[in-house]
Chains A and B, each alone.
Chain A
Amino acid sequence: MTYIPISPAERDAMLKTVGVKSLDDLFDAIPKNHRFPELNLPPALTEMEAAAHLGEMASSNENVREHLVSFLGAGAYHHYVPAVVDHMLRRGEFYTAYTPYQPEISQGTLQAIFEYQSLMATLTGMELSNASHYDGATATAEAVNLAYAQFRGKRKKIVMSPTVHPQYREVIRTYSQGMGLEEAGDEPTSSELSPEALTSLIDESTMLVVVQYPDFFGRIHDYTKLIEDAHAKGALVCIVANPTALLMLKTPGEMGADIVVGEAQPFGIPLWYGGPYLGFFTTKKSYVHKMAGRLVGETVDSRGQRAYVLTLTAREQHIKRERATSNICTNQGLLALAAAVYMSTLGKSGLQEVANLCYQKAHYAASELSKIDGFGLCYPDPFFHEFVLCTPKPASEVNQYLLDNGILGGYDLGKDYPDMQNHLLVAVTEMNSKDEIDTLVEILQEMK
């Protein structure tokens, strides 16, 4: 009866109104042989006991705030979250509301999402954004859905760079297994493929080209030429972008991208062992009707006030049913709010400072690490806050050595790219001090 506010006397009065004798009598429609199973679950804890139990579980982890110095990124990044963000997320008015189906009493959620859409469109240099997806990987899969719908299944080839996040590529393969797609480029052995080499795979049957920016190895490519070439063959181009990098770098919109997706976890969302995060999806106006996901638009109410509603709902599953582009019926509402508050609280200058700190510290780390005997940067390309360090021993051994010394090393690329066992993907953010970087360098110098 933890959260049930009905007294025994009230229960009896209600049963009488319903016309049954006991609570059990309400369940006559359930097959008798399966009714009221005994559940083998631990007995109920009180709030005090639950708090202690969960506290023990949490503290049996080694976390990146109290125990480990982290240089691990690979799709999830440790950034500072201003206090305001969580204070706003903890407003019951936001977190205990449903999807804003009743706009008269949901303008808080609706305007916040409209602002989120505006912020993400501005950040990526695109014309519009939807209200968000589950995460960066599923947002990328929705880009494939959009392209498939755009060509009505007549083009079935996707050209995907092997330097798109390996898990994103896995999710695309899972999502598209009913579509009969042809995939090109997505080979772990072709990890050295440059944007130029990708171009040769694009042909008249290509519906979508997917590249990452900066790519999974941290490298910054200008995709302008690739996009021109893809457009010449009639294909769409989706760029998977890191939002923190976009605070500094040329926008995918300027390069001519048709769709920009990515993981907005770096914008005010904790690492939280991988979720929930926030997939963003921005595109051009011409693709809005093929885009999945919720969309908030501006309008006026009956009193002449500017207001917001969910719009273009005719695209969605509850109207179109099996003809819908996607079965999505929610967004990541509260986390879209987190991203909006994060961007607003830091503002233009604060965000530029975050980007600059990431860039400066990553470059300092890269420069110092590559001075160590046997270590070096694997690629000469420009990078933002993540880079691949070539290591004298397998990256897995380097990571174990670092962990023994209280450091969460980088991501071992050998896990996904068999010919890259000695490649360590290192991420540095504003959370890493010069002292931490110097310690990392010292420990690696001592590694035998």
Chain B
Amino acid sequence: MATVIEPTIFELSTPGRRGVKMPASDVPTTALPPNHLLRSDLPLPELAEVDVVRHYMKLSKFNYSVDDGFYPLGSCTMKYNPKINEDTCRYTGFLYTHPLQPIETVQGNLALMFEMQEWLKEISGFPGVTLQPAAGAHGEFTGVLMMAAYHKSRGDLKRTKMLIPDAAHGTNPASVGMLGFTVITIPSDSRGNVDLKALEAACDDTIVGMMLTNPNTLGMFDENIEKVVQMVKDCGGLMYGDGANLNALLGIVRPGDLGFDVMHFNLHKTFSVPHGGGGPGSGPVGVSQRLVDFLPSPLVGIVEEDDDDTAPLYGFVTPKNSIGRMKAFHGHFGGGLVRAYTYIAMHGPDGLKDISQYAVLNANYLQARLRNTYHVPYDRICMHEFVMEGQFEGSDIRALDIAKRLMDYNFHPPTNYFPLIVHEALMIEPTETENKDTLDRFADALIKIADEAKREPELLHEAPHITPFGRMDEVKAARELVLCCWLPENYETMA
């Protein structure tokens, strides 16, 4: 039986222990519903407050986080999460407003949302923005729904194919699959751009459009972007931009200006909303003029114009041919929009440009320091991230081993095995919030690991060594599928 480092909250439970108590009832007692409508038992944990705190404190220490150190996870933009955001999003006026309150009582919230829509339009060059989608993938699905609705509204029903480059995020084809469209994969050329010949061959009047991440997942800005957009448009297709990599483009170029029709923002990447161990994120979507009428409902608009004496009255408006509602209520207001609003307000136009310039500088600096040790298959000036191969000729060391060994040097590993078009890919995104010393220590560690790979490969195969946990038996997890619940008989020999 396995050694247990920290029992689960169920195992820590002892009948009769109490945590936080509720006040006694101050109203006359009403009989409960009849027994057949009541649950027979509520087998939930019983602990004192201090035990709960120590349990979750202990768990927190098993995590590596941005607050702990460098987290160069490619395509995830693990930048520093400013502490002021954690305060502003908890201001009483934001925390304690109900989503169905009359608009006259929540003008502060609506003004913030309205301004956020305007700011995102300005940053991206799109005339329309919805704040509703809950995450990047949700924004993508929103975008694809709008593309489908656009063609349908024109009676153009033969369009069922979506062009997606081979370097794309897996969510792109999955979003397309949710609408029953077919995916046509477009290869990349030797410089990491969309292969124009392949695009020309695939582009016809049956395409819904193209979903392009730019910069792509190789960290490359497509050098033919204007041609690509024009070719798709000439076929009557719509151009989707995956905004996962927007951290490279703030004040650098606006996707709307390049001719894109739709793009989702990841407020949790570009605009410093913390990732929270996997969410909540926030995935607003911007659209070109031809899609503004299809945006999800509702949007925030001005329902009564201002005059000399009064501020405008903000409220909700429904686009003419809206695809409908993507989630309950109004998007990830508190945890998403307020944090991102704070961040943008504290940067202004020049500060936003600094973000992207330094994100790109940091990535290029690391690439320059590492390209003599690791093979960089698409070796040119990169944007905010780059991809190198985690393998060496004549060695059985794999990207996974290098990733795990980096943990022994107190770094979070880069994204590995993605994009799929690079063998043993290590995808490195340093972000703008790291200093040169950190980047140097990271590069030094990777260079040292390359040396270890030659001299002591077992050091890498068995890594990590200094973390509280070693490598996991993933096969056992999938085969035995223990997903839930404490069964006392399973833990008789618990340590």
The reply to whether A30 and B221 contact each other, CB–CB distance below 8 Å, is yes
Task: Fill in one digit per residue for A317-358: 1 if any B CB lies within 8 Å of its CB, else 0.
Answer: 111111110111111111101001101111111111110110
Q: Is the interface of B mostly helix, strand, loop or mixed?
A: loop
**Residues of chain B from 1 to 53 with CB closer than 8 A to chain A in the complex:** 2-6, 8-10, 13, 17-23, 25-30, 32-34, 36-40, 42-47, 49, 52-53
Contacts of A249 in B (CB 8 A): 33, 37-39
| Closest Cβ–Cβ distance, residue A348 to chain B (whole Å) | 5
The reply to whether B331 and A274 contact each other, CB–CB distance below 8 Å, is yes
User: Among the listed B30, B44, B55, B334, which residue makes an inter-chain contact with A343, where contact means beta carbons less than 8 Å apart?
Assistant: B44
The reply to whether B145 and A177 contact each other, CB–CB distance below 8 Å, is yes
The reply to whether A298 and B477 contact each other, CB–CB distance below 8 Å, is yes
| Closest Cβ–Cβ distance, residue A431 to chain B (whole Å) | 10
The reply to whether B364 and A62 contact each other, CB–CB distance below 8 Å, is no
In the complex, what distance in Å separates the CA atom of A95 from the CA atom of B278?
9
Residue of B nearest to A110 (CB): B62
Interface size class of chain B, counting residues whose CB lies under 8 Å from the partner chain: 35 or more
| Closest Cβ–Cβ distance, residue A74 to chain B (whole Å) | 6
**Residues of chain A from 14 to 72 with CB closer than 8 A to chain B in the complex:** 14-15, 17-20, 23-24, 26-31, 34-47, 50-51, 53-68, 70, 72
Residue of A nearest to B28 (CB): A364
The reply to whether A361 and B470 contact each other, CB–CB distance below 8 Å, is no
A-B Cβ contacts below 8 A, count: 703
| Closest Cβ–Cβ distance, residue A329 to chain B (whole Å) | 5
Contacts of A330 in B (CB 8 A): 135-137, 278-279, 281
User: Among the listed B25, B33, B148, which residue makes an inter-chain contact with A178, where contact means beta carbons less than 8 Å apart?
Assistant: B148
In the complex, what distance in Å separates the CA atom of A144 from the CA atom of B357?
44
**Residues of chain A from 159 to 205 with CB closer than 8 A to chain B in the complex:** 165, 167-168, 170-171, 173-175, 177-179
Task: Fill in one digit per residue for B63-99: 1 if any A CB lies within 8 Å of its CB, else 0.
Answer: 1111110010100101111101011101111111111
Asked if A118 is an interface residue, CB under 8 A from chain B, the answer is yes
In the complex, what distance in Å separates the CA atom of A193 from the CA atom of B222?
56
Contacts A37-B257, A403-B105 known; A302 to B137 CB distance under 8 Å? no
Contacts of A106 in B (CB 8 A): 62-64, 277
Contacts A54-B88, A100-B277, A220-B37 known; A304 to B3 CB distance under 8 Å? yes
Asked if A215 is an interface residue, CB under 8 A from chain B, the answer is no
User: Among the listed B38, B94, B180, which residue makes an inter-chain contact with A61, where contact means beta carbons less than 8 Å apart?
Assistant: B94
The reply to whether B346 and A45 contact each other, CB–CB distance below 8 Å, is yes
Asked if B202 is an interface residue, CB under 8 A from chain A, the answer is no
In the complex, what distance in Å separates the CA atom of A345 from the CA atom of B50?
9
Asked if A296 is an interface residue, CB under 8 A from chain B, the answer is yes
In the complex, what distance in Å separates the CA atom of A296 from the CA atom of B282?
23
Asked if A270 is an interface residue, CB under 8 A from chain B, the answer is yes
The reply to whether B30 and A247 contact each other, CB–CB distance below 8 Å, is no
| Closest Cβ–Cβ distance, residue B389 to chain A (whole Å) | 19
Contacts of B489 in A (CB 8 A): none
Contacts of A372 in B (CB 8 A): none
The reply to whether B38 and A247 contact each other, CB–CB distance below 8 Å, is no
In the complex, what distance in Å separates the CA atom of A134 from the CA atom of B135?
8
* Chain A interface residue count, Cβ-Cβ cutoff 8 angstroms: 211
In the complex, what distance in Å separates the CA atom of A274 from the CA atom of B327?
10
In the complex, what distance in Å separates the CA atom of A27 from the CA atom of B13?
58
Most chain-B Cβ atoms within 10 A of its Cβ — which of A250, A328, A347? A347
Task: Fill in one digit per residue for B379-417: 1 if any A CB lies within 8 Å of its CB, else 0.
Answer: 001000000000000000000000110010000110100
| Closest Cβ–Cβ distance, residue A370 to chain B (whole Å) | 13
User: Among the listed B53, B94, B106, B280, which residue makes an inter-chain contact with A332, where contact means beta carbons less than 8 Å apart?
Assistant: B280
| Closest Cβ–Cβ distance, residue A252 to chain B (whole Å) | 10
Asked if B350 is an interface residue, CB under 8 A from chain A, the answer is yes
User: Among the listed B36, B71, B87, B276, which residue makes an inter-chain contact with A222, where contact means beta carbons less than 8 Å apart?
Assistant: B36
The reply to whether A349 and B25 contact each other, CB–CB distance below 8 Å, is no
The reply to whether A76 and B36 contact each other, CB–CB distance below 8 Å, is no
Asked if B60 is an interface residue, CB under 8 A from chain A, the answer is yes
Contacts of A248 in B (CB 8 A): 32, 38-39
Contacts A1-B354, A72-B98 known; A317 to B484 CB distance under 8 Å? no
In the complex, what distance in Å separates the CA atom of A406 from the CA atom of B243?
43
The reply to whether B44 and A58 contact each other, CB–CB distance below 8 Å, is no
Residue of B nearest to A41 (CB): B349
Binds B, one of A124-132, A225-233, A386-394, A439-447: A124-132
| Closest Cβ–Cβ distance, residue B292 to chain A (whole Å) | 17
Asked if B476 is an interface residue, CB under 8 A from chain A, the answer is yes
Contacts of A403 in B (CB 8 A): 102, 105
**Residues of chain A from 201 to 256 with CB closer than 8 A to chain B in the complex:** 220, 222, 246-251, 254
The reply to whether A96 and B45 contact each other, CB–CB distance below 8 Å, is no
In the complex, what distance in Å separates the CA atom of A411 from the CA atom of B65?
42
Asked if B159 is an interface residue, CB under 8 A from chain A, the answer is no
The reply to whether B330 and A297 contact each other, CB–CB distance below 8 Å, is no
Asked if B155 is an interface residue, CB under 8 A from chain A, the answer is no
The reply to whether B348 and A135 contact each other, CB–CB distance below 8 Å, is no
Most chain-B Cβ atoms within 10 A of its Cβ — which of A68, A96, A102, A349? A96
**Residues of chain B from 84 to 125 with CB closer than 8 A to chain A in the complex:** 84, 86-88, 90-102, 105-109, 111-112, 119, 122-123, 125
Asked if A379 is an interface residue, CB under 8 A from chain B, the answer is no
| Closest Cβ–Cβ distance, residue A284 to chain B (whole Å) | 12
Most chain-A Cβ atoms within 10 A of its Cβ — which of B34, B111, B226, B484? B484
Contacts of B95 in A (CB 8 A): 63, 65, 270-272
Contacts of A335 in B (CB 8 A): 276, 279-280, 335
Contacts A3-B80, A44-B347 known; A341 to B56 CB distance under 8 Å? yes
In the complex, what distance in Å separates the CA atom of A275 from the CA atom of B207?
36
Contacts of B353 in A (CB 8 A): 36, 39
Contacts A18-B364, A411-B100 known; A299 to B63 CB distance under 8 Å? no
| Closest Cβ–Cβ distance, residue A320 to chain B (whole Å) | 7
| Closest Cβ–Cβ distance, residue A442 to chain B (whole Å) | 16
Asked if B290 is an interface residue, CB under 8 A from chain A, the answer is no
The reply to whether A26 and B364 contact each other, CB–CB distance below 8 Å, is yes
Task: Fill in one digit per residue for B453-472: 1 if any A CB lies within 8 Å of its CB, else 0.
Answer: 00000000010100111111
In the complex, what distance in Å separates the CA atom of A423 from the CA atom of B185?
54
Contacts of A109 in B (CB 8 A): 63, 277-278
The reply to whether A271 and B96 contact each other, CB–CB distance below 8 Å, is yes
The reply to whether A271 and B99 contact each other, CB–CB distance below 8 Å, is yes
| Closest Cβ–Cβ distance, residue A385 to chain B (whole Å) | 12
| Closest Cβ–Cβ distance, residue A151 to chain B (whole Å) | 15
Residue of B nearest to A64 (CB): B96
Contacts of B94 in A (CB 8 A): 58, 61, 272-273
Residue of A nearest to B463 (CB): A104
Binds A, one of B170-178, B232-240, B302-310, B444-452: B170-178
Between A and B, 29 residue pairs with Cβ closer than 8 Å are A3-B272, A3-B433, A20-B364, A50-B88, A51-B84, A55-B88, A60-B111, A61-B108, A84-B20, A98-B278, A102-B413, A112-B59, A174-B296, A247-B42, A271-B98, A273-B99, A304-B2, A324-B174, A327-B177, A328-B137, A329-B135, A334-B274, A334-B278, A344-B19, A350-B18, A357-B22, A359-B30, A367-B30, A399-B102
Pairs of residues from A and B, 5 with the lowest C-beta to C-beta distance, nearest first: A274-B329, A274-B99, A58-B93, A272-B334, A92-B67
17 extra interface residue pairs, beta carbon distance < 8 Å, beyond A91-B57, A276-B279: A3-B79, A29-B220, A34-B257, A51-B88, A105-B469, A111-B59, A177-B145, A275-B333, A312-B481, A318-B418, A343-B45, A345-B52, A347-B44, A353-B22, A399-B102, A403-B105, A433-B26
